[in-house]
Amino acid sequence: MLKDYYREMGISGPVYDYCIQAEKELKSRFEEIDRRAEINQMKVLAAMQKNKLSEACFAPTTGYGYNDLGRETLEAVYADVFHTEDALVRAQITCGTHALALALMSQLRPGDELLSPVGKPYDTLEEVIGIRPSVGSLAEYGISYRQVDLLEDGSFDWEGIREAIGDRTRMVTIQRSRGYASRPTLSVEQIGRLIVFVKEIKPDILCMVDNCYGEFVELTEPSDVGADLVVGSLIKNPGGGLAPIGGYLCGTRECIERAAVRLTSPGLGREVGASLGVTASLTQGLFLAPTVVAAAQKGAILAARIYESLGYKALPGAGEERYDIIQEVEFYDPDLLVAFCEGIQAAAPVDSFVRPEPWDMPGYDSKVIMAAGAFVSGASIELSADGPLKEPYAVYFQGGLTYPHAKFGIMMSLQKIVETGRLSL
């Protein structure tokens, strides 16, 4: 009966059989993910109970938003979940790039230097930093930037990092996920070792972690291993698919105060910022996040197993440990990259009839194709895929609010590739 339903939805018998066989081989991996999700679920629930989350917290505020109980409670919950002194969780933070820019611009001052010890940052941060000239960049404010690339095996260049840290180095930025780079995602344990290393060299250095796509994948977060700031987007992992907008910063009290002042205004800080009725969605999304992230992880592992068995390079491989929800598959063929994204779009609950096309997306240095038929526009915790139209023509697959939907999306991506005639099962 299930196979018949998939056939009615456009999945051929050979594609269905191939994917189901791959799924059967992953039972033990999936059980491990479910165990981790249960622990993270209890962590979130405990934080909500500790901070006496109540129905009154969901009442909307307008205007200045003074005395917003829900906003204040949610930020206390985030601080407890991430084990930090304080947190800033706001709908006024428009996206992950905005959250990261806020973190950088609030902590750095003219004459300071920003160091990335993990190589080139995600594309949209290049204009924030000033690697690519842009109005309002850090470079315009006299803040310099330096990076130390990872070694060929993906490990840290410890000596290079030591040499790069100088008197002007004020902040180290650590990108947890791979972005559009073919390098391993960093584990919390690796991030912790890096933080200890740089603080031994310069104790007053600030360590910020771009935590996008990594929340709740492990049992600990970078804030548990010494990060002064962890930053992310609510339309990724921690929003659980329900947050319609927003970003978060969790960290030391001093760092959060500086960020709040930069977000609003000196003298106002965190005291303003109306919730406009979204607090319930942000809070319930956080509650669902551990299980939603688990579904996305399962989908990523299934995609890795299927495509690596077909001869394509999957990063990480199906049997490897993973530290975010992103799955990269390298096709070395633009047509297969496009076909994969067409399949993800065709499997979507929203705009499934739309055919994605590569376009010049703001913030990127090449055409990018994006497939995302999402309830929340651009929410990459929902089933989505994207990739730049350049070598190695890699697709980056992520999300899936439920595992069955992620599974269907992977099947449809394979179906579209088979229909190109360049692959047979």
54-113: pLDDT as tens digits: 999 999 999 999 999 999 999 999 999 999 999 999 999 999 999 999 999 999 999 999
Domain-ending residue, one of 249, 276, 303: 276
169-180: pLDDT as tens digits? 999 999 999 877
248 in the same domain as 301: no
Q: What is the DSSP letter of 249?
A: E
The DSSP symbol for 159 reads: H
From the number of C-beta atoms within 10 Å of its C-beta (0-12, 13-18, 19+), residue 82 rates as: buried
Model pLDDT, residue 364: 73
- C-alpha dihedral over 146, 150, 156, 159, to 10 degrees? -60
Q: Are residues 20 and 86 in the same domain?
A: no
Collapsing DSSP states into helix, strand and coil, what is residue 82? Answer: coil
Distance CA(275)–CA(64), nearest Å, equals 10
Q: Which domain holds residue 202?
A: 62-276
Cα separation, 165 vs 169, whole angstroms: 6
Q: What is the CATH number of the domain that holds 328?
A: 3.90.1150.60
Taking CA atoms, 290 is separated from 45, 217, 327, in Å, by: 11, 8, 18
pLDDT of residue 316: 94
- Is residue 322 within 8 A of residue 301, CB to CB? The reply is yes
What tokens appear for 282 in the block? Answer: 């942000």
Beta-strand runs (E) in 43-125: 86-90, 113-116
CATH number of domain containing 212: 3.40.640.10
Mean pLDDT, the chain, integer: 96
Angstrom distance (rounded) from CA 220 to CA 216 = 8
CA distances from 104 to 32, 172, 296, 321, 401 (A): 36, 10, 29, 30, 31
Q: How much is the pLDDT for 363?
A: 67
In this structure, the answer to whether residues 100 and 206 fall within a common structural domain is yes
Instruction: Taking residues 294-302, report their average pLDDT.
Output: 98
Structurally, how many domains does the chain consist of?
2
- Sequence-separated (6 or more) residues with CB below 8 Å from residue 35: none
Pure H helices in 136-278: 158-164, 188-201, 253-263
**369 in a structural domain:** yes
pLDDT value at residue 181: 77
Query: What was the pLDDT predicted at 179?
Result: 78
Does residue 119 have a pLDDT over 70? Answer: yes
Confidence (pLDDT) at 255: 98
Strand partners, 314: 329
Q: In angstroms, rounded to a whole number, what is the distance separating the alpha carbons of residues 359 and 403?
A: 29
Whether 98 and 233 map to the same domain: the answer is yes
Strands 384-388 and 368-371: antiparallel
What pTM was computed for the model? 0.95
Q: Above 70 in pLDDT, residue 192? A: yes
CA 231 to chain centre: 10
Return d(Cα 319, Cα 184) in angstroms, integer. Answer: 14
pLDDT digits 0-9 by tens, 226-245: 999 999 999 999 999 999 99
Select from 276, 307, 330 the last residue of a domain.
276
Question: Quick one: 270 and 291 in the same domain?
Answer: no
Residues 249 and 151 in one domain: yes
Catalogue the E-assigned strands of 92-190. 113-116, 144-147, 169-175
Instruction: Tell me, yes or no, whether 282 lies in a domain.
Output: no
Q: What is the mean pLDDT of residues 379-392?
A: 94
The torsion angles phi and psi of 11, rounded to 5 degrees, stand at -95, 125
Question: Which of 276, 303, 328 marks a domain boundary?
Answer: 276
